[in-house]
Amino acid sequence: MSAGRREPKPEGLGGHYGTLASDQPPSLTALIPWRLPRWRAYVAAAVLCYINLLNYMNWFIIAGVLLDVQKFFHISDSNAGLLQTVFIGCLLLSAPVFGYLGDRHSRKATLSFGILLWSGAGLSSSFISSQYSWLFFLSRGVVGTGTASYSTIAPTVLGDLFVRDQRTRVLAIFYIFIPVGSGLGYVLGSVVTELTGNWRWALRIMPCLEAVALVLLILLVPDPPRGAAEKQGEVATGGPRSSWCEDVRCLVRNWSFMWSTLGVTAMAFVTGALGFWIPKFLFEARVVHRLQRPCLQELCNSQDSLIFGALTVVTGIIGVILGAEAARRYKKVNPRAEPLICASSLLATAPCLYLALILAPTTLLASYVFLALGELLLSCNWAVVADILLSVVVPRCRGTAEALQITVGHVLGDASSPYLTGLISSALRARRPDSYLQRFLSLQQSFLCCTFVIVLGGGCFLLTALHLERDQTLARQPGTGTPDSKDIESQGLLLGMEAPTEDP
């Protein structure tokens, strides 16, 4: 801040989503623009993408070695599904807390704490004895708590570094690492298990990568003021900053946010069930086709986790890029492009998934093809749904909005779907002869509910399109998402640096 120049310090925020107040009588106060060199913004985005990669590798590294984990801890299908349920259950319970902290305190410090938490818990879980399976379940819950901080806060940091087409492109790259990280989680788990003969070494390699991520986060990622990228030039004065409950009430009245959250929930339900059980489903399909012997030895063949991981990486990269680019171009002719693209991709995913499941006992190649198509169509939505949230929610409430969307999505989605799928599979197997064919058919039929859920998700995005333009207009109204006193101080410290500008 230049010498001799003093800015009024606001005490709180209120209004529709919170407005600025000071000791002065109510008036309009000019804000110092927050500036950052473009290269710094892109470096920060690259670091956040790397951490997102590690984040999702942690989600699915256990699924990549699931058969070995089941044999080591003597876990049935229903209890194996509970592993992912515990992980995601702790994540969803933690998400509102991290959303609250992310909207009111240092986002960088909160992200650092989350990385330390999930890294330490993951490393510790690799040393648990087979007699203490409950402790392994507990450690997965702690890992889920740590990852909640990143899934909740990181997108809001990107939302404050970039705007419009820039934001769409950066979010597309950021969300590419959901399927890429998920796929590499399978690959790392299976490859390390095959090389070392011990599945626990996969959990011991991850903390080394996460230590590098923590150092990069501390050194290279700024904590921009909330709403900095929107470049609002003035702030309306008002009462104290709105409470968390008031923010939640405003979000509940935001129909675009509500319907898109239900659409994301349907996506989470399907990806959760498929991501956890498909490697085992593919393994048993190959046993049925006599391409693979049953898993009777200590270490199960990891080829299916490797194949599914590679499929997830490739279809994820292509799908996210296609979805983001389609949304960017279609928005020029239709302002409701984003929810319409999400709806159409989900509605097209349903028949692909159904055919992949039904054709598996007959022709494995066709099953792989339709499974890949379904994954590609699902991946089209990852960046687009994030852009919908950032466009209809004001900057000050984005952390809370991300947290609520994560919580609802996981409670009704992938927190329950792996356990529900395993439970249905176990119930069907109990009524049938004990053979590999019947095990396979039980798991196949337990998956069929996913096709109906994904159609409901497509309908939710169609309803989102009806409310999108109105909610975007409300989110852009002056004085609805302005910085608080800490953000103003950050602006003063960063004055004089070049602001990232939008590409022509």
Sign for the pseudo-dihedral over CA of 117, 119, 120, 123 = positive
Confidence of residue 301 (pLDDT cuts 50, 70, 90): low
Asked if residue 237 is part of any domain, the answer here is: no
Asked if residue 202 is part of any domain, the answer here is: yes
Tell me the backbone φ, ψ of residue 20, rounded to 5 degrees: -85, 145
End-to-end CA distance of the chain: give it in Å, rounded: 30
Mean pLDDT, range 311-319, rounded to an integer: 85
pLDDT score of 499: 42
Tens digits of residue pLDDT in 153-175: 888 888 778 776 677 778 778 87
Asked if residue 389 is part of any domain, the answer here is: yes
Asked if residue 9 is part of any domain, the answer here is: no
pLDDT score of 407: 78
Asked if residue 239 is part of any domain, the answer here is: no
Look up residue 294 and give its amino acid: P
Q: What is the overall mean pLDDT for the chain?
A: 78
Distance of alpha carbon 240 from alpha carbon 429, whole angstroms: 59
Domain containing 324 — which CATH number? 1.20.1250.20
Confidence of residue 188 (pLDDT cuts 50, 70, 90): confident
Sign for the pseudo-dihedral over CA of 225, 230, 231, 232 = negative
Residue 359 belongs to domain spanning? 33-227+244-493
**Is residue 14 scored above 50 in pLDDT?**
no
Determine contact, residues 126/198, Cβ cutoff 8 Å: no
Asked if residue 218 is part of any domain, the answer here is: yes
- Residue 156 has which token pair? 């809001």
**Is residue 397 scored above 90 in pLDDT?**
no
Mean pLDDT, range 481-499, rounded to an integer: 42
Asked if residue 431 is part of any domain, the answer here is: yes
Confidence of residue 456 (pLDDT cuts 50, 70, 90): very high
Look up residue 363 and give its amino acid: T
DSSP state of 29: E
Between 317 and 435, residue with greater pLDDT: 317
In this structure, how many other beta carbons lie within 10 angstroms of the beta carbon of residue 469? 13
User: Mind giving me the DSSP string for 279-346?
Assistant: HHHHHHHHHHTTSS----SSS---HHHHHHHHHHHHHHHHHHHHHHHHHHHHTTT-TTHHHHHHHHHH
Q: What is the pTM of this model?
A: 0.66
Please count the structural domains in the chain: 1
- What does each C-alpha distance from 173 to 61, 119, 273, 319 come to in angstroms? 22, 24, 25, 11
Asked if residue 6 is part of any domain, the answer here is: no
